[in-house]
Structure 1
Amino acid sequence: MSVFKAYDIRGTWPDQIDSDLARRIGRAYATFLGRGPIVVGRDMRASAPEIQGAFIDGVRDRGLDVIDAGLCSTPELYFAIGHLGAAGGVNVTASHNPAEYIGFKLCREEARPISADDGIRDIEALATAAEPPAAQAERGGLEQVDVLASYHDHVLRWADLSRPVRLASDAANGMAAHTFPGLLARLPRIEHHGLYYELDGSFPNHEANPLKKANLKDLIALVGETGAEVGAAFDGDADRCCFVDDRGRAVGNDIVTALVARDVLAGEPGAAIVYDLRSSWILPETILAAGGRPVRERVGHSFLKARMREYGAPFGGELSGHYYFRDNWFADNSEIILLSVLKLVTAADRPFSALLDELMPYHSTGEVNFRVEDKQAAIDRLRAHFADGRQDDLDGITIAFGEPGSSGWWWVNLRPSNTEPLLRMNLESDRREIMEQRAAEVIEVLGVEPE
């Protein structure tokens, strides 16, 4: 399986990605970008220093200057690109993947992502050619820069706490353990109770993937033990944040998007808010009710960021826990969304759970995965079975029956994963029995049990 993915480059070390390939990728990226300087950071994995060093050597081989940001969360890397006016940047990370993985998240100027459709395939061709791009006569320079304090200054622009607040968080031994303590030191109104704030790329406590409920159990217990008003779980490279409320419930990221969108629109009436098509119908309803313009987009950070730039949208969110901010170079940032939520919780006369309850009137399956040999055939079967529904092909297939505000409506989206050999289903209705009945019907049409 190729290490060149839809949104990044990722594989196991050292069998799939070693120093030789990293250097080739560095040369290929530099050739593709064509100018410097390039900011390069890395996460806390055991393989990251070696792979970062080889990648930097490859970039410098092609004559481009490199700014070495050292240990760096992905949001910190995005910030560094914009703040330093760099031509591009790369974080050497495998995000939430297990310890044996390593990879590269690639950007152009202003933290614009490079994906398969607009660069990764070109970089792959250059890196895997029999003769990779040759070294230039004049080698690029190297400068080491620590942007963490400036990054903290930037993120603190979103800090607006009306009163003291008790927060529980889980860094999962990932890069939030590098960035978040410095923010907390400058936010004395936060009483913080933290888990797993030791940088450890072996992830000794649990996977650094907060979308999996099993990885939230320690945080949920901590919320209960401490009486925390908000719980926050970070992923490995700290670009995602998932929430637990004061009652110990895992919160849907689309519901958090709706909550924050309402506040954003209070300050910017009529603005566009971009969201991914898996989100609950409560999200566009909330955006409209707040006087905003809901903009539905296919799944994937490169698509949402591009659409936000097109509309000048101040905010956007994905079901995966990525939240995007116009004033952060349209990039995702876990700490900015956490401060945005804490702002709302401290300003409210009700607990976090009560703020969420009014945004959760509907019933959803959540994302359900199916391992299917022929993905397109499965999508076509669903299309034919529900031929009388409203259908669109923005991402896989979405089929809807009824309208919000009516009784008995439901919708389903079935799409191929961009990162794994799976079909992913999301289904929602205003009535639980319809949600359960239609989910069973979809499973029957697919002819395979969910994973």
Structure 2
Amino acid sequence: MTVISQSIFKAYDIRGIVDKTLTEDVCFLVGQALGTKAREKGVSHICVGRDGRLSGPRLQCALMRGIREAGIGVYDIGAVPTPVLYFSTVYLKTGSGVAVTGSHNPPDYNGLKMMLAGETLYGETIQDLYKAIVADILYTAEEKGSYEKVDVLPAYMKSITDDVKFSRPIKIVIDAGNGIAGPTAAALFKTLGAEVEELYTNVDGNFPNHHPDPSKPANLQDLIKALKEGDSEVGLAFDGDGDRLGVVTKDGEIIYPDRQAMLFAGDILSKRPGATIVYDVKCTRNIKPFVESRGGKAVMSRTGHSLIKAKMKEVNADFAGEMSGHIFFHDRWPGFDDGVYAGTRMIEILTRFADANEPLKNLPNAVSTPELQIPTAEGENFELVEKIKQNAKFEDAKDIITIDGIRVEWDDGFALARPSNTTPVVVLRFEADSEDALKRIQQRFKDEILRVEPNARIPF
């Protein structure tokens, strides 16, 4: 009997430590559970791909065996960025796929991002897989599902090169952090006509240079150095599985994803008046007036790539941006998060300007903190945020938003506290018009949290 830990069944995906909580046996059972659900939904085939982690090949094999055990066919997409796997579900018309990926987690982690019948699995639908495995409600077919290896990379590349056009030659730096996006991104930008200076674009699951997570400034220092010392105009960074984008200007300024989202939204609204733009609760409050001043509709969503995809479907959005770096285009692209495609759209916009950095520098900006964290015991992060929501008093605030944690807005800034769905912490974020306003808002929020929970370990 395989011991399976419920702890790996997260809010947006399955994730665990390889050979401890995430084993080949576990992947086989998850595959069989997915295959069982696929049968219920009338799905005949599931696309399966993997990132560049060392454990990927064997975990992918185990997962595919499990899917086929339930009589469902498998298209083996191979080692590709997660967005290429998402693309394969559209291209091969399955609406169903699994990316075996640890994303930006340490090398000893791996995981599964899953979609079935056009729906990204999250929350209860992921817990349902766990329940089916524990209750042993798994279908075993008399005849195993089919297996076919399919190379969708050429079709993915062609779809982008047919769609995106650069207005002039440009030299860029790409830092893939030895993640799976490196070879694809380098080849794609060269095909589109850019000159590419490559940093760590070879795939190495040990991640020997820096962690493949562009949301952390420490991981962008090599990119910043290359831009300052060389003649490239702008820098792009990708995370471990290629579904998130980082952007750095020539002088080393990091353009965080909520500001990237404004650039993309403005471009889309210039061609699609009245378009709906989705953004998550962690994003700058500058997005809403930026979108509305250009005739668009701005809709705030809960954080999480699966939740944002669901919100986009609900409101029929043309675009969504998430603070973590997931960027979703649904104007000329199928609506999944794709850091590599987002990078091409970024350069498409920038090459319309003689100075590629001008449109980035002109984006509205604010003083803000990085993501801060209050550490808690497992599960207590949700309890703490609920306590704050129920008992904290912010009579001086302009608005209080509780769709995902609590976001308190004043005329000159905001404070956010939300429970992480992946680790036992409360995530804090603050933004304001000035340093003084930021300090005031942080202190105001801190005082109120400590009044509600005196033992909270606030990191400032």
Give the TM-score normalised by the residue count of structure 2: 0.92
Q: 1:44 aligns with which of 42, 45, 52?
A: 52
Q: What corresponds to 1:366 in structure 2?
A: 370
Report deviation, 1:98: 0.9
Is the counterpart of residue 23 in structure 1 residue 23 in structure 2? no
Q: Answer yes or no: is the 8 Å Cα contact 1:274–1:294 preserved in 2.
A: yes
**Residues 25-424 of structure 1 aligned to structure 2 (within 5 Å):** 25-34=30-39, 35-110=43-118, 112-117=119-124, 119-129=125-135, 131=136, 133-188=138-193, 190-326=194-330, 327-352=332-357, 354-373=358-377, 374-375=380-381, 376-377=383-384, 380-381=387-388, 384-389=392-397, 390-402=399-411, 409-424=412-427
Report deviation, 1:134: 4.4
Q: Answer yes or no: is the 8 Å Cα contact 2:266–2:291 preserved in 1.
A: yes
Label 1:116 to 1:377 Cα distance change in 2 as closer, same or farther (>3 A): closer
Label 1:221 to 1:238 Cα distance change in 2 as closer, same or farther (>3 A): same
Alpha-carbon distance in 2 for matches of 1:180, 1:414 = 35
Q: What corresponds to 2:3 in structure 1?
A: none
Alpha-carbon distance in 1 for matches of 2:419, 2:246 = 23
Q: What corresponds to 1:428 in structure 2?
A: 431
Q: Which amino acid aligns with 1:393?
A: T
Alpha-carbon distance in 2 for matches of 1:93, 1:351 = 33
Report deviation, 1:378: 5.1
Report deviation, 1:310: 2.3
Alpha-carbon distance in 2 for matches of 1:298, 1:199 = 33
Alpha-carbon distance in 1 for matches of 2:48, 2:348 = 32
Report deviation, 1:345: 1.3
Q: Unpaired segments of 5 or more residues in structure 1?
A: 403-408
Alpha-carbon distance in 1 for matches of 2:137, 2:197 = 49
For the aligned residue pairs, the C-alpha RMSD in angstroms reads 1.7
Alpha-carbon distance in 2 for matches of 1:195, 1:361 = 28
- SS of match in other structure, 1:270: coil
- SS of match in other structure, 1:347: coil
Report deviation, 1:339: 1.3
Q: Answer yes or no: is the 8 Å Cα contact 2:48–2:60 preserved in 1.
A: yes
Label 1:285 to 1:440 Cα distance change in 2 as closer, same or farther (>3 A): same
Alpha-carbon distance in 2 for matches of 1:166, 1:201 = 28
Q: What count of residue pairs does the alignment treat as equivalent?
A: 440
Report deviation, 1:449: 3.0
Alpha-carbon distance in 2 for matches of 1:7, 1:244 = 28
Alpha-carbon distance in 2 for matches of 1:42, 1:361 = 37
Alpha-carbon distance in 2 for matches of 1:394, 1:163 = 43
Report deviation, 1:322: 0.4
Label 1:68 to 1:361 Cα distance change in 2 as closer, same or farther (>3 A): closer
Alpha-carbon distance in 1 for matches of 2:83, 2:415 = 32
Q: Answer yes or no: is the 8 Å Cα contact 1:13–1:101 preserved in 2.
A: yes
Query: Which whole-Å deviations, capped at 9, do the CAs of 1:284-314 have from their partners, x for residues lacking one?
Result: 1111111111111111112211221223221
Alpha-carbon distance in 2 for matches of 1:157, 1:337 = 15
Q: Answer yes or no: is the 8 Å Cα contact 1:36–1:88 preserved in 2.
A: no
Q: Which amino acid aligns with 1:417?
A: S
Q: Unpaired segments of 5 or more residues in structure 2?
A: 1-5, 451-456
Query: Which whole-Å deviations, capped at 9, do the CAs of 1:115-167 have from their partners, x for residues lacking one?
Result: 123x11111112233x3524211111101100000010112244221111110
Q: Answer yes or no: is the 8 Å Cα contact 1:379–1:414 preserved in 2.
A: no
Q: Quick check: 25-34 or 223-232, which moved more?
A: 223-232
Q: Which amino acid aligns with 1:259?
A: L
Q: Answer yes or no: is the 8 Å Cα contact 2:414–2:441 preserved in 1.
A: no
Q: Answer yes or no: is the 8 Å Cα contact 2:32–2:70 preserved in 1.
A: yes
- SS of match in other structure, 2:351: helix
Alpha-carbon distance in 1 for matches of 2:197, 2:421 = 36
Alpha-carbon distance in 2 for matches of 1:378, 1:239 = 29
Give the TM-score normalised by the residue count of structure 1: 0.93
- SS of match in other structure, 1:7: coil
Q: Which amino acid aligns with 1:27?
A: Q
- SS of match in other structure, 1:66: strand
Which ranges of 4 or more aligned residues in structure 1 deviate by more than 6 Å? Answer: none
Query: Which whole-Å deviations, capped at 9, do the CAs of 1:409-435 have from their partners, x for residues lacking one?
Result: 222111111111111112222222111
Q: Quick check: 271-280 or 324-333, which moved more?
A: 324-333
